[in-house]
Structure 1
């Protein structure tokens, strides 16, 4: 990779300073346009499969296959980017991914497609998803040469990504007012193609040197010191995905309408955005590993407090406080991953953290589904908090 640019920064650089870095605005905007596809694709595919098959069981299976292929092969796709460079690697991935999304839209446009075909197309599609998030974070590390400014860049990136997963489902909902759900899948394909093309054409990527070595096969690079960030990311993903089901169960038990669930869960996103912006604005003197463990501890305590909630408002406040620690923890995890990774493995390091969050989310939904109804909800919230605390403890003691 090319060396970071020597951008002058003040003792307390602002978020505006991040966006004033040469080529930062153009590159970041392009990456966000492509990543908005990921905010839309899951609800769009889910609704399209349900509309096509009329079965929630089939839709759940297809989404599980799609998610597993997307998440588990993320480090491999990131290794391809590290080896060949973003321009040579991302465009073919985006083209293939976009085309397969179009195929997925076609086979779900009308009923009658066999389930095995839906699952196969979904798996192939997920395998090709370009790692825009990890690549953008790798580019941030090249664009800025100051660790404080990089912290703000990662915080800004994390908050923006959080918002994409709020905006994406809203766009899918807007599409449904005049078109079938498969149209949302097509729009996701258009976003990933246009966003990736604009991203790789940015001058910021012109100085990226590829790390390919002739005659050597592609392989994942071992990154020492990455266990702590990965464990915390997995623990957070597991705990937060459990919260979604726990909030739904809480609302049903208390007799509230299901329409209040999105508002309660929105508190997590609002808290995360506030925590991420504040975390990026502070010049921390505490070591990153200590901050990472502290964020996991804060998340765990807030989730345990949610188990004591007596009503909807107290639950909303508790999960909002839990969200306050999410973006700071992920930002710190990505910073640590960048810190311990060699230049030729930066994208892979970020991808491992990203994969851990998503893998934890998948596992958390399964575990929570098994526990709800067998244990009191308050105990389930506490157990979710314990997972986050244990993950933070592992990161604190593991060098």
Structure 2
């Protein structure tokens, strides 16, 4: 592997012997500049889905067409994420992100132009939107890779990942609000164009940072996203095997996504049952607030459990709270339950990213993070679809229990011994993530607590 620049790992005054803080994370050389650029680009991801939905709806006059277009956008964006991240690992962010972001922005602008006037064909819009989704630059996984290069100290890295997760949560709240502010001025097509400008600007600023120049690039790697037969790895599926760790991270992310995707729909059903549909917003806001608090608390812990030990506990906690939420007698208590469930969301996803990061070689971290991200998003879509079939057919309290079942079932598998041999069909090769070498004790999370 090779790098084209050297980035100081951390400020001299913030050594491991001193208590790290979020201020110490942002005080690392180049951290503020790099993080701000990534957040600027990722703000587009909070804006574009809603803006595209409204733009397609306005020009076609059909919610069905708009929903189908957004399903295509989500499908290509989520399923191709590991392949795009693999290109970044193979060729580096400076060579791959600008073309991706440029093509993504051009396709969004083409969609904005097509929706600026009524009458655009649904097939044309669907093709444009699907193509844009396929080109979505993986700014989140790339930023987490950059954090690892900037912060080799594990305590600071955990704080950085927690801060990153909370900031991402806030972006997905801020993005729709920004679309709402733009609609009276630019219309939905204009909001799509603004989203295109944000992702292109943020990406170009990101790759211009010294941190992006220092990302290790694989000297030789298999084709991104190429599948392999199960069981091909020297590392094995044990607690210290890279494949086992990565699959645990993916499983936890998928279970969390399933729970959240189902919860959104169940909150709507719960509020409508009680004649208070307007309450959906503040219940989901309580979920987001709880998630932000949980993420910041995780980063602030002095001596947390190792990542692999923490992951099943967080997943189980989310499942238990979600199952209990279905028995809330009223909306205020449901909001409290949602806030409590949120306390587990950001820590679970953050820990999954940390476990995935530990499982792989430096030149494969972007792809490993993309697998976690893909699992979460796919789980969210699957949770919404599955519960959508159950709501109205089953008591709502039972729907909450069913939505919690994947998280509860995943928890014992994530504990280690029961995971061995499970889920061997996941199409991820260990040699794609560092040759399948056995992890050192500190890598596996069984050494000193972070």
Normalising by structure 2, we get a TM-score of: 0.85
Pair 1:236-2:243 in alignment: no
Taking a change above 3 Å as real, the CA distance of residues 57 and 196 of structure 1, as seen in their structure-2 partners, is same
Deviation at 1:136, TM superposition (A): 0.3
Deviation at 1:287, TM superposition (A): 2.3
Contact 1:79–1:220 (8 Å) recurs in 2:
no
Counting helix residues as a fraction of each chain, which structure ranks higher?
1
Contact 2:216–2:363 (8 Å) recurs in 1:
no
Deviation at 1:217, TM superposition (A): 4.7
Match of 2:369 in 1: 350
Question: Which is further off, 61-70 or 289-298?
Answer: 289-298
Look up the SS of the partner of 1:255 in the other structure.
coil
The separation in 2 between residues aligned to 1:5 and 1:375, in whole angstroms, is 57
Pair 1:367-2:386 in alignment: yes
Q: CA-atom RMSD, angstroms?
A: 1.6
Unaligned runs of 5+ in 1: none
Q: Mapping of 1:186-197 within 5 angstroms?
A: 186-197=193-204
Match of 2:328 in 1: 309
Contact 1:273–1:327 (8 Å) recurs in 2:
yes
The separation in 2 between residues aligned to 1:393 and 1:273, in whole angstroms, is 26
Pair 1:207-2:235 in alignment: no
Q: Mapping of 1:134-213 within 5 angstroms?
A: 134-213=141-220
Q: Mapping of 1:1-399 within 5 angstroms?
A: 5-7=8-10, 8-213=15-220, 217-218=223-224, 220=226, 224=243, 225-256=245-276, 258-396=277-415, 397-398=418-419
Deviation at 1:54, TM superposition (A): 1.2
The separation in 1 between residues aligned to 2:266 and 2:127, in whole angstroms, is 32
Deviation at 1:115, TM superposition (A): 1.1
Q: Residue deviations 1:26-56, cap 9 Å, x none?
A: 0000000000000001100011111111111
Contact 2:82–2:224 (8 Å) recurs in 1:
no
Contact 1:75–1:220 (8 Å) recurs in 2:
no
Contact 1:46–1:63 (8 Å) recurs in 2:
yes
The separation in 1 between residues aligned to 2:225 and 2:389, in whole angstroms, is 37
Normalising by structure 1, we get a TM-score of: 0.96
Taking a change above 3 Å as real, the CA distance of residues 283 and 320 of structure 1, as seen in their structure-2 partners, is same
The separation in 2 between residues aligned to 1:19 and 1:285, in whole angstroms, is 21
Deviation at 1:9, TM superposition (A): 3.6
Deviation at 1:276, TM superposition (A): 0.3
Contact 1:304–1:381 (8 Å) recurs in 2:
yes
Unaligned runs of 5+ in 2: 228-232, 234-241, 421-450
Contact 1:27–1:199 (8 Å) recurs in 2:
yes
Contact 2:7–2:214 (8 Å) recurs in 1:
no
Contact 2:311–2:352 (8 Å) recurs in 1:
yes
Deviation at 1:180, TM superposition (A): 1.3
